[in-house]
Structures are given as C-alpha cells and as structure tokens.
Structure 1
Amino acid sequence: MSGIRTALWTMVMLLVVGCTSSPGRQNSAEVSPEKALEAYTQLGLQYLRVGDLASAKDALQRAVEIDDEYAGTYNALGLTFQIEQEYKLAEQNFRRAVSLEPETASFHNNFGAFLYAQGRYSEACTELERATEDPFYIQRAQSFENLGRCFRMIQRPDAAQHAFERTLRLSPNRPVALLELTAIHLEAGRLQEARQYFDMFSQLIDSRQVEHSAQSLWLGIQLARQGGSSTRGATFALLLKNLFPQSAEFANYKESLQ
C-alpha cells in the first residue's frame, strides 16, 4: 500500500501546482485552489478504489478545508462512509452533494443506490429517477436498470418494465435488464415476450459474455415447463442445484416439486 500511496501523492502534487511561464518567471509556481480542490477529491476517490479508507478521508477532508461547498467532495465522502458502514454520515454527505448540485446525475445515482441498499426503496426510486433525467449522463443505462429494480421492489411492474426497456435501448446487451424483463412478462403470463428476452440472454451465455445466475436458471426452468421442454428444464435444474444450492431460487424450485 505504501507504494500506491506514494504514487498517488505524487499525482496530487503534480495536479495542485500550476506553473506559470513568462519571459521573466520561468521557474515560478503557484498553487491554484481550484486545481487543489479537484486534485484532493480525485485523490480521495483513488484511495477509495484501492481500499485505503483512512487516506481517502484525509484527502477529502483537505478538499473540504479548501472549499466546503464543492459537491464532488461530499459525494466521495458519502461513498467512503457507505463502505465503512457509517450510514448516517454517508447519508448526510450524499444529501449535501445533491443539494449543492441537484442537476448532477451521478450524485443522484449514488445516493439512490445507497438508499436502495438500505431498503428505502421509495426514496431510492425518487433519486434514481432524477439520475435518468440527464440524457448526457454516461451511466444512464445503469441508472435506468437500477430504477427498474427499484420499481420492482415497490410493486410497480409497468414502471419497472418501462425502465428496463429504456435500459436496453441505451445498451442492448445488459443481462440484468434482460432477465428482469423475462421475469416481468412471465409473471404477467406473457410467455412469448418472456421467451424473447430469455433467448436474448441465452445468446449472451452462448457467446460466453455472461454466466448463468440463480435467477436465470430458475427463469429457464419455468419457461421450459411452460414450453414442454423437460430435457432443457432438467438441465437448468441440475445447474441450479449444483451451482446455487443455498439460493432462494433453488428453494423455490424444490417447493414447486411438492
């Protein structure tokens, strides 16, 4: 970790020092507060990515000392405290970030994901919906997918379906959206639509882009039963038993045999 820490501090020092060149001041240098603020925030995020939470908080606190109204720092602190399971502090910092920059989609997405993890689904849906509003947000497909899962948790299948469909329009090969749409249509008795989405997921399996999950195998079993394909269903059941014996899906499968 010491080598990583040294490299990261070298990076931040290069960023915070803004060199000014003129004919009479070739070697002069001055620290730009704006660059220092951004650099310390990015340094904190880099420490967070390598799991050095203490150094992350130290760097982020330095950023707060430079400017206590920079939303990006509070978003990073929210992520840090979430990992530390300091949930009250995490929420305080996420709320501070979205209040300072209410139009920044990534902050709403991160806060929404935090609320979802806390089981506060209605609040999470509100934040995630805000994240999807920015058409230029690079992670917009992920936000729609998160929103769809959130709507599923509060029993809004139509809204969830719409969110997952938006996900696939932005990124056609997202396995979570494909499986969730399979489940939504299967639960509604729309077998043809369910099979279409499951077949799209199966193509990802065949091309080794993804692997089966407990959810995908249980969905495959149910669709095989509906289609009269006992051999395929048995294959899925064996995989479910061997790969995910402790899963809720395997428990549902065993219950369905009784």
Structure 2
Amino acid sequence: MALSIARRFNVFFLMAFMVSVLAACVTTERGGIASKADQAQVLETALLSARHYVHIGNWQAAKRHLKTAIEIDDSSAEVYEAMALVYQNTGEFEFAEQNYKKSINIDNGFSRVRNNYAAFLYQQQRYEEAVKQLVRVVADTFYNKRSNAYINLGQSYLQLAKLPEAEQAFYQAHLMASSNLALLFQLAEVNYRLEHFSQSQKYYDAYHSQVKQQSAPSLWLGIRLADKFGDNNAISSYTLALKNLYPESKEYLQYREIFNND
C-alpha cells in the first residue's frame, strides 16, 4: 500500500536466535517420544528460523522450516501467517490467501495477520475487502500498530473515492502519530479534494515547515492552495521549485496544462 504493506516480523538478534537453536537441540526422550516441552521448543525454533529467512527473503528456507512447524502443530496461526507472506512474495497469490484465511480462522482476534491480509487485498486491488479487514483491526484498541492500520484504512478509502471516510481515518492516525509528516501531507491533500481549503492549508503549512525539501506532489498541492487564496508569491516560489527539481514529473506537466504555462 502506498499502504503500509507489511511483511515485518519481530526478529531476534543473531545471538538470541542461535541460543534458541542450540536449546532446541537438547531434547529429553521418554520412551522414544519427545516430551511436549521438547516439541514446543522445536516448534518455536522452526518458527524463529522461518521468520529469519522471511526477513532476508530466502523463501525456500523459510518454507522448509514452516513445513516442520506445521508437522509439529497444524493449529498455529503464526505459522500460517508466515506461510502466507512467503507465498505472497513469491507471487503465489492463491496459496497466500489460503494461508491468510487459515491463520484468521485459527485466531479470529489476530490483528497483525488481518492487517497483513488487508495489505495483500490492497495489492490485489480488492479495496472493499481490505476495508472490511482494516475496520476489524482498528477496532482492536490493544493492537500496537493501530495508527498504521488507520493509515492503511485511509488509503483504501481513497481508492474507493470515499473522501470523508479517508479523511477521518487519516485524522485518527494523526492523533495517534502526530510526528508522522507523511500523514500531515495526506490530510492536506484529502482536505483539498474535499474542498476544505482552510483546513488543507493548515495541514500543508505544518508539513511544509518541517520538511527539508518538498516532493513534487507537495509542491503541486502548494501551488493549488496558493491559487485558491490568491497568493501569487507562493505560486511563483513553488512553481520555480517544481520546475527546477522535478521538470519531468507528472505534477509539473499538470501545472503546465492547467495554468497554460510553457
């Protein structure tokens, strides 16, 4: 997603990872059958190994460890989530969706996997379905990535041209993560599209005052806002920056088309 598309896992430092692997190698057998504690340790180690390989993009190694994990316990929501991410990144989208759904069916309150599944749906341009998942995620007040989920929700609403809903989602994210500069710009843009020009200008000024160099989209928004308020000096300044910094950008082409400027 412009969405914040997520395949990030909590990966332990290498030393902790190696300790876990070594610990798993020390097993106690009782009558030739490993104890439940031993199996739990092997499962944890297989999952940690899979997460490590997902993190570095070694999909085959990740699948090998996840296969081991499933053989030990086929009711782990985290295992199927990791498997879904592997298939998503190898372009096997049908298998990815199957594993996302398995993970959610096992643990209906697993907000992280719902957020990742929503990112997958967004990637597939299935925005209505992404919204349904994200509405569930943001309702989880204990989810530690809730502000990101609101951003993803806002992006999904934008794709559906539901501007008031998008603005509300971005605003909620802003309340939770006020230092996020990208959110300030997003709020300025969506308020402009809603024709809330004064509100858009407020967010734009807050954004502009904190960035070292504006992007082509932000300069283009600055030009349009300055035009609404008749600020010719700002129009000239932003136009010059847009022309010099991003002469090949679509925003500069839009400026030339709309303002009939050669």
Scaled to the shorter chain, the TM-score interval is 0.7 to 0.9
Instruction: Identify which of structures 1 and 2 has the higher relative contact order when contacts are C-alpha pairs closer than 8 Å and 6+ apart.
Output: 2
- In structure 2, the residue matched to 1:233 is 235
**Distance in 2 of aligned mates of 1:15 and 1:130:** 38
**Distance in 2 of aligned mates of 1:193 and 1:241:** 27
> Matched residue of 2:210: which SS?
helix
- In structure 1, the residue matched to 2:223 is 221
Distance 1:57 1:212, change over 3 A: farther
- In structure 1, the residue matched to 2:63 is 57
Moved more, 167-176 or 139-148: 167-176
Moved more, 8-17 or 45-54: 8-17
- In structure 2, the residue matched to 1:113 is 119
Deviation of 1:125 after TM superposition, in Å, equals: 0.7
Counterpart amino acid of residue 63 in structure 1: A
Distance 1:111 1:17, change over 3 A: same
| Runs of 5+ consecutive residues of structure 1 not aligned to the other structure | 1-5, 21-28
Deviation of 1:190 after TM superposition, in Å, equals: 1.5
Give the aligned length: 241
Deviation of 1:95 after TM superposition, in Å, equals: 1.3
Alignment of 1:1-258 (within 5 A): 10-16=18-24, 32-205=38-211, 208=212, 212-245=214-247, 247-258=249-260
Identity of aligned residues (%): 30
Distance 1:241 1:165, change over 3 A: same
The question of whether the paired residues in 1 share the 8 Å contact of 2:187 and 2:200 is answered with yes
**Distance in 2 of aligned mates of 1:149 and 1:245:** 27
| Runs of 5+ consecutive residues of structure 2 not aligned to the other structure | 1-13, 29-34
RMSD: 2.6
Taking structure 1 as the reference length, what is the TM-score of the superposition?
0.83
Counterpart amino acid of residue 16 in structure 1: A
- In structure 2, the residue matched to 1:25 is none
